[in-house]
Structure 1
Amino acid sequence: MKQGLGTQLRHLIELLDGAVEQSYLDAGLAYRPRYTPVMRTLLAHEPLTIGEIAVRAGITQPAATQTVALMIKEGLLVASAGKLDGRRKMVTLSDAGRAMLPRLKACWKATAAAAASLDAQLPYPLSEALSDAIDALKEESFGERIRKAGAAQAPK
């Protein structure tokens, strides 16, 4: 029996994230793959608010809020009151977060090489397929596609 799209995607994420997380452990890093979009965004643009992190990292606001909270708890980030508006929390890398960057960048480089190897083995690169799927869903959401399919299958 062929697995459904959601099941396949969850399994793919388990395979990818599990290997990436193991590479961090092997490098002696207490670091989760979900931290990478936040870390890369702050490396390029710090300090930022959580909302700015979400937009620049291409993740949802709730995901950014949860991830930043975990990273602060683990000592990788710090949040402080904004200079112009003390109600806005500005997020930056902590000293501990900066200290892990050389090993972290080495892991990112190895991960990118592994992804390129996987793309080269496939008849259609996974990275392109994912990008194309995201673009198609921006044009018409999966929810809208479900509603249309349901309407087409409704008894007449």
Structure 2
Amino acid sequence: MTTPDPSEQSRWHHVFLLLDAMNADIARIYTERGITGVRPRFVGPLIRLGRRGGMTIRALADSLDVTHSAMSQTVAALQRDGLVTTVSGADARTREVVLTDRARELLPLLEAEWRATEEAVAELDAEVPYALSQVAHDLEAALARRSFHDRIADRLDRREP
């Protein structure tokens, strides 16, 4: 091919690597404290269930602003790791996700880790000239003005023969 490989350029590659490394550090905290089967992506749903009680997958997904599909996959993983189970809901057609005793025992540490992580992120934001949290808000505002889809589609349309 005469053109360069486009996959060799990625403006967000380092952002993804950074987030992966930060999540790995959070996971290491759990390992150091003897906690197995808990991944950083589990903590939000576990805390939410601990605070609000049993919820359907849809309600849990909505409360955490994620897709039903993503939450369904997370709940399946939480079940495999013995952190949640499902019980009959308000009617015979619904199932609610509830914490197991093991998950309830972990909640104080998980909530403490969440708070410590938020404090560490705030510290990082204060150390850099332009906080990552502000970048996220600014990008959201820019995308509200013109969607990422439209930005990509316009460029793609200009390239097609």
TM superposition score normalised by structure 1: 0.86
Question: Is 2:78 the counterpart of 1:71?
Answer: yes
Report the CA distance shift for 1:75/1:14 in structure 2 as closer, same or farther (over 3 A).
same
Question: Is 2:28 the counterpart of 1:22?
Answer: yes
Partner of 2:150: 144
Question: Is 2:120 the counterpart of 1:114?
Answer: yes
Q: How many Å separate the matches in 1 of 2:111 and 2:118? A: 10
User: What is the CA distance between 1:138 and its match in structure 2?
Assistant: 4.8
RMSD over equivalenced CA pairs, Å: 2.1
Q: Is the 8 A contact 1:54 1:60 kept in 2?
A: yes
TM superposition score normalised by structure 2: 0.83
Q: How many Å separate the matches in 2 of 1:140 and 1:32? A: 34
Q: Is the 8 A contact 1:24 1:107 kept in 2?
A: no
Question: Which of the pair has more CA radius of gyration?
Answer: 2
Q: Secondary structure at the match of 2:129?
A: coil
Question: Is 2:100 the counterpart of 1:90?
Answer: no
Deviations 1:80-112 (A, max 9, x none): 1113x2221101111111101122222222212
Report the CA distance shift for 1:54/1:137 in structure 2 as closer, same or farther (over 3 A).
farther
Question: Is 2:40 the counterpart of 1:33?
Answer: yes
Report the CA distance shift for 1:145/1:113 in structure 2 as closer, same or farther (over 3 A).
same
The AA in structure 2 aligned to 1:119 is: D
Q: Secondary structure at the match of 1:39?
A: helix
User: How many residue pairs get matched?
Assistant: 153
Q: How many Å separate the matches in 1 of 2:89 and 2:25? A: 38
Q: How many Å separate the matches in 2 of 1:63 and 1:6? A: 22
1:128 corresponds to which of 93, 110, 134: 134
2:11 corresponds to which of 5, 9, 30: 5
Please list every run of 5 or more consecutive structure 2 residues that lacks an aligned counterpart in the other structure. 1-7
